[in-house]
Amino acid sequence: MRSRPFFRRICFLVALTGVFFTNACTPETKTEGDGADTAVVTSADTSAASSAQTPESVLAEMPPVSELPALLELSGAVYTQNLLNKPDKAKNYTTTADKAALNLGVYATDVGYLCVYGKTQPAITYIRSSQALADHLGVTNAFQAETQKRFEQNLSNRDSLTAIIDENMRSTHQFLNESDRKNTGALAVTGGFIEGLYISTGLIENYPKDVPANVRDQVLVGLVTAILKQKKPLADLITLLKSSGGDAQVTEYVTSLTELYQKFEAANFEEKLKNNQGDLLINDKDLAGITAQVKQIRAKIVA
C-alpha cells in the first residue's frame, strides 16, 4: 500500500493540471442544498436523462475507443501486455450475441492500446479476433478484409491506425442501431469502456515502487487524471444502456455500472478539490473501491 504523502503529492499535482473540472464533471449541475440528490444513480434522474436523449445522441458523446489508451501513453506509463485480454479467447465469446458484443468492445480498446504503443503486429492478431466476433454478430461489413488491408498499409502511422479502429467501431454501432439491435451496440460500448478503465486502474495498482519518486509521480498523475475523466463518459454509458431498450444482460450491466458510478460519487473528488482539500482528494481506499468494481465487471465480461 502506498504512503499517504505519495497521494498528497498526486492530489496537489492533479489540482494544478486544471483538467479535472473541465473533463470529469458530473453529468448534471447541482445547486447548493442539493446534496441529497445524485446524478445518474437515482431512478428519477436516470429516467429523465434517458427520455431526454436518444441512443444516437448519447453515443455521439462517448469518447472513441482509442482516446483513453492515448491518454495512458501520454502519461508516460509503460506498455503492459498482461493487462490485455488474450486474443485466442475470442472463440469462447460466440455463445451469445451479448457476449460477442461485449468482447468486441474489449478487443477494440486493446487494439487502440496496442496501436498507441506501436505494437502493430500484435494489433493485427487482435483485429482477427475482432473479425470472428463481428462475423458472429453479422456486422462483417464493419470489419471486412479491407480493414486489415488498410491497417497493414498504415503500420507506420499511429494516428491512421487508431482512426481506422475508431471508424470501424462507429460503423459497428451504426449498423447495430439501424438493425434495431441497440442493446447489442450498447454492450459493445460497455466492453470497450470497461477495458479502458481496467487497463488504467491496473497500471496504477501494479506500478513499480522502485522508480524515482519524481518519475513515479509524473506518470501516476497522468493515470489518475485519465481515470477521473471517465466519470462523465460512465454517466453517458449508463444512460445509453437504459435507453437501448435492453434485455436482462443490459439491466445487469446497468446495475453494475451504477455501482461503479457510486464509487466515483463516494470518493467525492470534485467537492474536495472545490473546497481546497487537495491533500484529501485521492487515497488508497478511494482508488481501491473503483479498481475492485472495475475488476469485477471486467472479469464477468471476459470469462
Q: What is the mean pLDDT of residues 234-256?
A: 91
Between residues 266 and 251, the one the model is more confident about: 251
pLDDT tens per residue across span 89-113: 999 999 999 999 999 999 999 999 9
Burial class from Cβ neighbours inside 10 Å (0-12, 13-18, 19+) for residue 108 reads buried
Residue in 179, 224, 185, 269 with CA at minimum distance from that of residue 76? 224
Q: What is the pTM of this model?
A: 0.78
Those residues whose C-beta lies under 8 Å from the C-beta of residue 6, and which sit 6 or more positions away, are 213, 216, 217
What long-range pairs does 70-74 form, CB within 8 A, spacing at least 24?
Answer: 70/112, 70/116, 70/162, 71/222, 71/225, 71/226, 71/229, 72/113, 72/116, 72/199, 72/200, 72/203, 72/222, 72/223, 72/226, 73/116, 73/117, 74/222
Q: How many CA atoms lie within 13 A of 139 on its CB side?
A: 28
295 pLDDT above the threshold of 70? yes
In the chain, what are the domain boundaries?
4-10+39-302
Cell of 240: 445509453
Burial class from Cβ neighbours inside 10 Å (0-12, 13-18, 19+) for residue 284 reads middle
pLDDT tens per residue across span 18-64: 333 333 333 343 333 343 333 344 433 444 444 456 666 666 677 77
Between residues 282 and 128, the one the model is more confident about: 128
Confidence band, pLDDT 50/70/90 cuts, at residue 236: very high
